Amino acid sequence: MPERVAARREAEATASAQGLPADPAALETVRVALDRLGQGTLRLRRRVHTVLSAADGHREGRADYERAESARRDAESDYAEPLGRLEAARRTVRALGEALGATEQQVLARGSEAKRRLDAVGRQLPRARRDLAEVHDLRVRAEEDERVRRETLAAQEAEVLACGRRLRTALSLPGVLRGAGLDADADEGALKSPDPVHHDVGERIAVLRLLVDAVCRGLDAERRDVSDTTLLDRHTELRDQLSGGYDATMEEQDGIKLCRLVDDHGPHDIAAVGERIAAEAAEARDRLTEREREVFQRFLTGELGDHLSSQVLAAGALVAALNTTLATVRTSHGLGVILDWKLAEGVEVDVKAAVDLLRSPSGLRTREQSEQLRDVLQRRIEDARRADPAAGYAAHGAPPWTTATGSPSPPGW
């Protein structure tokens, strides 16, 4: 038994050292995979030998083809001169054959026609030579102009690529993308695209054009550019406004001015610091807004709701008391007066809903009614704030049917 345990441990250690599983089933799977790999390797080796044999035959066939091609060119060169002599002889034989059997007048006529054609060609020859000389001069000038233009184009392409390298170097400086407000992931990552130095000039310039377009879209309009003096003034203003223990430095690299914020931990990118401060301010603003919302909701359903409810109930009681008194008063003709306190015509639905809810005290309202009253009052106050942003919550929270002292003043009779 101990021998089996020792053998098992040794087998497991060997398997672990070789990166193999210790389970027999897994080892069987590995063995099957190795057998398949060996068979595949043998097939691959046979195919490689076949390809190598075919490559040797192809190499020999290519050498034979090149020798035959060279022999063909030599034969064509040797055949060109005899072919020219043969064509001249054929023309002579053709002319002699046409002259055979012809009369003297026909021979003389053909000679005259040939002389006339030679004279015409002789008259056209000087002009053709002049045209040939002019065309030759034009060709020489065109070739020279093409050479100059190619040199100019090469110089411009080199200048464009040099400017592209300077632009990429400037964008790679820490803080430049953030400071310029550029999104590195925008335009399918055009701002991160490297220079394809192994491609031709056209492809490199095309990639650079995409980079320049992305930068132009991300930057402000040219009319908003600032001068070096403005930058220095803003740097001085920032440095003067910093609290103790902080300082602002400015350095220039390849024409790019970089402003850094220095504290006890060293220099920091001012754009990153600005983003961090903006994020912290937004988070604090959200926390403050949430607290304000909770306090505001308690105020709406508590103090303001109770105050408005008491005003509505007091107004209703006042109208009822006045009607009780007026019921005993009659004119000489026996006519009486009754007061009717109601909302003005055309009032909004929110106001009607709020008045209906305020007719009952807060202690008698259900939770759903309190939430509905809170939503109505909040919407009315937000509408008032949008209409008059300068006024405070005290002015916006005052109901439209109350006076400055808070005494009821019914909107309709």
Global pTM reads 0.39
**Which residues make Cβ contacts (< 8 Å) with residue 336, sequence separation at least 6?**
326, 327, 329, 330
**Which residues make Cβ contacts (< 8 Å) with residue 63, sequence separation at least 6?**
none
Instruction: Quote the pLDDT of residue 412.
Output: 35
DSSP reduced 3-state for 267: strand
Instruction: Tally Cβ neighbours within 10 Å of residue 28.
Output: 11
Residues 356, 358, 364, 366: what is their CA dihedral angle, to the nearest 10 degrees? 70
Domain ranges of the chain: 20-87, 118-225, 226-264, 282-397
DSSP reduced 3-state for 263: strand
**Which residues make Cβ contacts (< 8 Å) with residue 181, sequence separation at least 6?**
218, 219, 220
Could you give the residue ranges of the DSSP H alpha helices within 182-227? 201-218
Structural contact between residues 226 and 212, judged by C-beta atoms closer than 8 angstroms: no
Instruction: Quote the pLDDT of residue 221.
Output: 62
Question: Residue with structure tokens 């509408």?
Answer: 383
Residues 287, 292, 295, 297: what is their CA dihedral angle, to the nearest 10 degrees? -110
In 302-330, which positions are buried (b, 16+ CB within 10 angstroms) versus exposed (e)? eebbebbbebbeebeeebeeeeeeeeeee
Query: What does pLDDT average to in each consecutive run of 10 residues of the chain (413 residues)?
Result: 74 73 80 88 91 86 88 85 86 76 75 85 89 92 94 92 84 72 64 77 86 78 68 79 73 74 75 77 70 64 72 83 84 80 76 77 74 76 71 51 37 34
Paired sense of beta strands 247-253 and 266-269, if any: unpaired
Structural contact between residues 386 and 379, judged by C-beta atoms closer than 8 angstroms: no
Beta sheet of 256-263, edge-to-edge order? 247-253, 256-263, 266-269
Instruction: Tally Cβ neighbours within 10 Å of residue 22.
Output: 14
Within 13 Å and on the Cβ side, how many CA atoms surround 46? 5
Distance CA 232, CA 257 (A): 10
In 52-76, which positions are buried (b, 16+ CB within 10 angstroms) versus exposed (e)? eeeeeeeeeeeeeeeeeeeeeeeee
Question: Residue with structure tokens 């026609």?
Answer: 113
Nearest CA-CA partner of 258 in 183, 163, 175, 168:
175
Nearest CA-CA partner of 295 in 404, 358, 378:
378
**Which residues make Cβ contacts (< 8 Å) with residue 373, sequence separation at least 6?**
300, 301, 305, 354, 357, 358, 365
DSSP reduced 3-state for 277: helix
